[in-house]
Amino acid sequence: MKKIVLFFSFILFGLVSVKSQNSPNIIIILVDDLGYADVGFNGCKDIPTPNIDKIAAEGVTFTNAYVSYAVCGPSRAGLITGRYQDRFGFGRNPLFAPNDPNMGLPLSEETLAEALNKAHYKSVALGKWHLGAHESLRPLKRGFDDFFGFLTGGHQYFPHEWTLKDEYEVKKQFDAYKTKLLRNNTRIEEQDYLTDALSREAVSYIKKYKSQPFFMYLAYNAPHTPLQATERYLKRFEHIKDNNRKTYAAMVSAVDDGVGNILNTLDTLGIAENTMIFFLSDNGGPENVNASNNGPLRGGKGKLFEGGIRVPFAMRWPDRIKDGLVYHAPVISLDIFATSIAHTSTPIKTRNPIDGVNLIPYVTGDEQGAPHDYVFWRKFDANEHAVRQSEGPKMVSLKGKNMLFNLANDLSEAHAEIPPNSVSSKTIEAKYTSWENSMMDPVFLGLGEDKAYNTMHPDRFERKKN
């Protein structure tokens, strides 16, 4: 009798294991402040990105891909929840405030890691967090099993500059760039150039999780300032005479090397076919700050013109997506959440309604039409908003002045051809008003308001007493 029980237990365990492995591994590679035209699959000539381009070549390139905000903090909040961040008041870049449980992603929101936990995934967050420095808001409290990185919106790249042993030695906002890295909840000594360290850890965690479905959120801070690169990467770009562009190129090249290591590891372990990989930037490039290049797009980081919100975006999943696909209908980073949870062997019911759409049926042609009729952006403090209509114009509203652009003929948004009082304008504005009515005002002060915040919270960097 015992042998029979053991036999059926073995069979049952095998079925469960096979079933769980039908769930794809999910890797999000998110870079920081990358220019739209700074990857090969978008036409870059002076910075080779063969490994990043491989994701596009062996999967799908999205030519009209957007993020949900034009700067990093809100953009990341939208991506990790699959919801417009204004739905929960994340309309500003958060400050580094380790004593403030309200300065970051509200606990009412479910992260992609928390959702995937319902389908028995292991999850790791690597690199830039920027969704809250308070202990209740950190990755291990938001569904991740492991974390290696830093909590603030940017970081120095060289280990000798990581001179602050923890968050309580930070005395002003950008001092947080100098904190030692965290592994889970422990500050560590690290010797590698930051981008290389993140790539190394990504490979290590893939090996650690290889036998079960895993989710990896790899958030490189490159090529965000400060512009810093090692000689190993700088010497690849002696032909670039502008020093800022040369260093920027070296930083992008370091990321590309890391992507190559990740792809090679997946191949070596035999799990590449059932691994869904997304590559994108968190917003457009700030061309005058980090020497990025947004190509023909108008504006850059912080702007609601295309240069601020349209980003390089590619996806690979060999089990389900043919190689060399190009998809032209507008998509948004919120769709990553929806696409990820739609293909797990265990169905996932989300805590909150999400705004993203599962992209796979559209990419494969099983679903006709566009994933979104409209996508929206709002800059609350600047009184600015934008609306992209899938089959029609894009509206940009700056302080009450509406401009409508036909992106099919005017990608650079040089000519507002449609009168702002036209039927199209009124229709789009009505759609925006309906959308905005379901949004919240920002729930915390953000960057640029740190002096006012300091006055309100004079103890924000003080170590808490036990």
Tokens of 420: 């702002």
Residue 61 parent element (H or E): strand 60-62
CA–CA dist 271, 269 (Å, integer): 6
Which residue is catalytic, options 44, 72, 224, 385?
72
CA–CA dist 123, 213 (Å, integer): 9
Alpha-carbon torsion, ordered 252, 202, 158, 184, to 10 deg? 140
Tokens of 351: 């805590």
Contact of 253 with 236, CB cutoff 8 Å: yes
Helix axis angle, 194-209 to 243-269, nearest 10°: 10
Helices (H), 98-213: 112-117, 194-209
Contact of 357 with 338, CB cutoff 8 Å: yes
262-270: long-range contacts (C-beta < 8 A, 24 or more apart)?
A: 262/27, 262/29, 262/199, 262/202, 262/203, 262/206, 262/218, 263/51, 263/54, 263/55, 265/203, 265/206, 265/207, 266/206, 269/206, 269/207, 269/210
Tokens of 405: 């652009």
The one-letter code for the residue type at 91 is G
Burial 297-306 (b: 16+ CB within 10 A, else e): bbbbbbbbbb
Q: Is the dihedral of CA 419, 421, 427, 428 positive or negative?
A: positive
Which residue is catalytic, options 130, 155, 372, 385?
130
The one-letter code for the residue type at 67 is V
CA–CA dist 309, 237 (Å, integer): 28
Would you call 72 a catalytic residue per the annotation? Answer: yes
Would you call 130 a catalytic residue per the annotation? Answer: yes
CA–CA dist 128, 32 (Å, integer): 9
Contact of 127 with 220, CB cutoff 8 Å: yes
Contact of 40 with 49, CB cutoff 8 Å: yes
Residue 401 parent element (H or E): strand 401-405
Length of the chain: 466
Helices (H), 58-189: 72-81, 112-117
Which residues are annotated as catalytic?
Answer: 72, 130
